[in-house]
Structure 1
Amino acid sequence: MAILHNRVSQKELKERLYQETETRTTISFYQYFPIPDPQAFRDELYQALQVLKVFGRIYVAHEGINAQISVPQSHYEALQQYLYTIPALNGLRLNIAVDDDGKSFWVLKIKVRDKIVADGITDPAFDMSNKGKYVNAAQMNELLNDPDTIVVDMRNHYEYEVGHFVKAIEVPSDTFREQLPMAVDMLKDHQDKNIIMYCTGGIRCEKASAYMLHNGFKNVFHLEGGIINYARQVKDQGMDSKFIGKNFVFDDRLGERITEDVIAKCHQCGKPADNHTNCANEGCHLLFIQCEACAQQYEGCCSKGCQDFIHLPEEEQKELRKGVDKGSNVFNKSRARLRPKLKHGD
C-alpha cells in the first residue's frame, strides 16, 4: 500500500532540508474548479508530488485547490507537466517566489478542507464563476493613477502592515470571512467606481471580487496572481512598483522584499523594521515585528516575561505551558490586542 502521510519527525525533516545541496524553487498556485471526491484527489496528488520531492502545504476542497510548495529545480518541469495532466489545471499559472532561499518548507502536507478559503458565505446563489476582471501589473499601475479607482487590500492586518499598494484601503479584520461583508459595507457608497481587490497570490481577491459583484457592485477587478505575480511582472518588464515594502508570505520566510521601503515599525521599540518573527517562547509563539537590536536584547522574545520564561528549566516550562491556547496569536496594534499572558508573569 502506498504511504499517503509523512512518518518522519519534523525536526529530522528540517535537518534533511538544510542538508540538501540542490536549490529549491518556492511556488504558489490555486484554482477554483469542482472536485467531486476531494479525498481521492488528495491521495493521488500526494503520491505524485512525493515522488518529485515536493514540500509544502496544500488544501483541497470541493471548490478547488490552494498550494504553497517548494520543488527541487531539476523537478520543476516534471511538476508542471504533471499538474497540466489534470484538465482543470492545464496551463495553470505557477507563481514563483521573488525573494526566495528555497528553505520555505520541509515536509509535504495535503489536507482536505470544506473550502480552500474560509469565507463564511452561505448564500446558495453565490457563484464563483461570476468574478471580477483580471488586471496585470501594467493595468494595475494604470488604474492606480485614476482618481476614481479604489484599491482594497484583502489580507490581514499583519500582512498590510509591512507592505501594501499605494492608496490601498485596509479592511481591518483578522479573518477573510469577516472582511467580505465589511468590504461591502465600507464601499456601499462607491458602487460605480473602479474597485480593485488584491491579495498575496490571488485566491482571496478572486473570491472577494465575485462577492462584490454578488452584492451589486459593477466595475470590479482583481489582481491576477496577486502581489507575487505583480512583483515578478514589474521586475521582468522594468516598471515602477506601486506596491511598497514587503509581501508577507505564509512559509518559513515570513516575507519577501518587493521594494527597499520599510513602512512598519518594531513592536517593541518603535524603530523602522519589517521583519516578522515568532516569539522564542513556545508557550507564546506570538507573531510580531522585531528589529535586530530588540531581537538581541530580548533573545527573540516578545517581552521580558517571555525572555525570563525561556530560561526556566525545561520541565517547569512544559508544566506552565499546559492548557495554554495560543490560538491565532498575532500582534495587532489596531485592535489593541496582545497575546494571552502565561501565569509566569510579564
Structure 2
Amino acid sequence: MAVLHNRVSAEELKKRLYEEKEPRTTVSFYHYFEIQNPLDFRNELYKQLEALKVFGRIYVAKEGINAQISVPQSHYETFKNYLYSIEPLNGVRLNIAVDDDGKSFWVLKIKVRDKIVADGITDETFSMQRKGRYVNAAQMNELLQRGGTIVVDMRNHYEYEVGHFANALEVPSDTFRDQLPMAVEMLKGKESENIIMYCTGGIRCEKASAYLLHKGFKNVYHLEGGIINYARQVKEQQLKSEFIGKNFVFDNRLGERITDDVIARCHQCGKQCDTHVNCKNDGCHLLFIQCEECAEKYAGCCSVECKDTIHMPVERQKEIRKGIDKGQNIFNKSKVRLRPGLREKS
C-alpha cells in the first residue's frame, strides 16, 4: 500500500527539487461539488498524484477541491487525463502560472478540511448552486469602462497592496470569513448596480458572488479564473491589462509580475518595492515587503531584534522562541504587527 503522506525532511525535499533537470508547470484549480467521503477521495488522489511526482498543496472538503500544484512537464498530459477522468472535474479550468520557474512546491500535501474556503457562513439556506455570472478578460475590461460598475477585491490587504485593478474596492480585513459580511455592509444601497468580484484564482470571488446574491444583490459578476486566468487571456489576446502591479500567490514565489508598475513600498524604508519576503528569523517569519538595500541591512529580517537573534547559537534561538505565539504573522491592514525597524504604514 502506498504511503499516504511524505516522510522525508523539508531540507532534503528542497535539495531534490533544485537538483531536478526536468521543467515543471505550476497550475491551480478548484471546483465546488459534493464529495460524499472526503478522506477516501483524498487518499485516492494522493496515490495517483504521488506516482506522477506532483508537488503542491490541495484541500479537499465535502464542498469540493482547491489545489495549487506543480507537475513535471512530461507527466502533465497524464495528470490532466487522470483529473478529467473524475467526472465532476472533467473539463475543470486549469490556471497555468504566468511567471513561473517551476520551483513553487517541493512536497505533496493533501488535507481534508471542513471547507475549501473558510467562510464563516452558518446559514443553512446558503447554496453555491446560485452564483454570479462569469466574465472573461475582455468582458472584464468592457465592464470596467462602464460608469457605475463597482469592482470588489476579495483578497487580503497584503495581496491588494502589491497589485489590483484600478479603482477596485478593498474590503479591509485579512480573513475571508470577515470580508463577506463586510462586503455586504459596504455595498448597502448598491443592490441593483453592476458588481464585479475578483480574487487570485477565482475560488473566493465565486463564493462571494453567491453570498451577495443570497443577500439580495441582483447584478453580480465574478472574474473567471481570477487574476491568474485574466493575465493569461490578456497576454494571449493582446489586451490592455487593467490589473496593475503584481499578483500575490501562495507558494514559494510569493508573486507573479503582471505589469511593470510597482505600486507598493518597502515596509522598512518606504522605497518603491513590491517584493514580499518572510523574516529569516525562524521564530518570526513575518511576511512583509523588503527592498534589496534593507534586505542587506537587516540580513533578510524584519527588525534589528530579529537580525540579532539569527546570529545566536541554535539552542539560544530555540529558547527564545519557546512558548511564543506567532499568531498570524503577516503585515496587514486590520492587525498591523510592528517590529523595531519597521515603519508604520499609512
TM range (shorter): over 0.9
Does the 8 Å CA contact 1:330/1:339 hold for their aligned counterparts?
Answer: no
Identity across aligned pairs (percent)? 76
Alpha-carbon deviation of 1:336? Answer: 3.6
Partner residue, 2:91: 91
Provide closer, same or farther for how the CA distance between residues 333 and 179 of structure 1 changes in structure 2, counting only shifts above 3 A. closer
Residue 48 of structure 1 corresponds to which residue in structure 2?
Answer: 48
Q: Which residue of structure 1 lines up, in the alignment, with residue 323 of structure 2?
A: 323
Q: Report how many residues are paired.
A: 341
Give the distance between the partners of 1:25 and 1:322, measured in 2 at CA.
Answer: 39
Shift of residue 339, structure 1, vs aligned partner: 6.1
Q: How far, CA to CA, are the matches of 2:143 and 2:156 in structure 1?
A: 23
Specify the alignment match of 1:38 in structure 2: 38
SS in 1 for 2:123: coil
What is the CA-CA distance between 1:338 and the residue it aligns to?
A: 2.9
CA positional deviation for 1:335? 4.3
Aligned CA-pair RMSD:
1.2
Contact 1:301 1:307 survives alignment (8 Å): yes
Question: One-letter code of the match for 1:56?
Answer: G
- Is 1:145–2:142 an aligned residue pair? no
The amino acid of 1:207's aligned partner reads K
Deviation at 1:306, TM superposition (A): 0.7
Matches within 5 A, 1:69-84: 69-84=69-84
Q: CA deviation at 1:241?
A: 0.1
CA contact (8 A) 2:304 2:340 kept: no
Q: Distance in 2 between matches of 1:298 and 1:141?
A: 42
Contact 2:55 2:106 in 1 (8 A): yes
Letter in structure 1 aligned against 2:33: F
1:337, CA displacement in angstroms? 3.3
Mapped partners of 1:319, 1:110: distance in 2: 32
Aligned 1:160-309 pairs, distance under 5 A: 160-309=160-309
Q: Distance in 2 between matches of 1:297 and 1:332?
A: 23
Per-residue CA deviations over 1:52-106 (Å, capped at 9, x if unaligned) read: 1000000000000000000001111111000000000001110000000000000
Detail structure 1 runs of 4+ shifted over 4 Å in the superposition.
none
Q: Secondary structure at the match of 2:288?
A: strand
Cα 1:120–1:211 change in 2 (3 A) is same
Q: Distance in 2 between matches of 1:37 and 1:334?
A: 37
Q: Deviations over 1:264-305 (max 9, x none)?
A: 000000000000000011111100000011001110000111
Give the aligned residue type for 2:29: F
Secondary structure, counterpart of 2:164 in structure 1: strand
Question: Relative to 1, partners in 2 of residues 1:335 and 1:3: Cα closer, same or farther, differing over 3 Å?
Answer: closer
1:242 positional shift = 0.3
Is the 1:135–1:223 contact (alpha carbons within 8 Å) kept by the matching residues of 2? yes
Map Cα deviations across residues 128-147 of structure 1 (whole Å, 9 max, x no partner): 01000000000000000111
For 1:340 and 1:10, how far apart are their aligned partners in 2? 30
Asked if residue 63 in structure 1 is aligned to residue 63 in structure 2, the reply is yes
CA contact (8 A) 1:246 1:256 kept: yes
- CA 1:333/1:123 → structure 2, altered by over 3 Å: closer, same or farther? closer
1:186-222 C-alpha deviation (Å, 9 max, x unpaired): 0011111100000000000000000000000000000
Verify: 1:122 aligned to 2:100, yes or no.
no
2:63 counterpart letter in structure 1 = E
Counterpart-to-counterpart distance in 1, 2:265 and 2:189: 33
**Secondary structure of the residue that 1:188 maps to in structure 2?**
coil
Secondary structure class of the residue paired with 1:8: coil
Deviation at 1:340, TM superposition (A): 11
Contact 1:326/1:340 (8 A) holds in 2: no
Instruction: Name the TM-score, length of structure 1 as normaliser.
Output: 0.97
Could you tell me the TM-score, scaled by structure 2's length? 0.97
Structure 1: gaps of 5 or more residues: 342-346
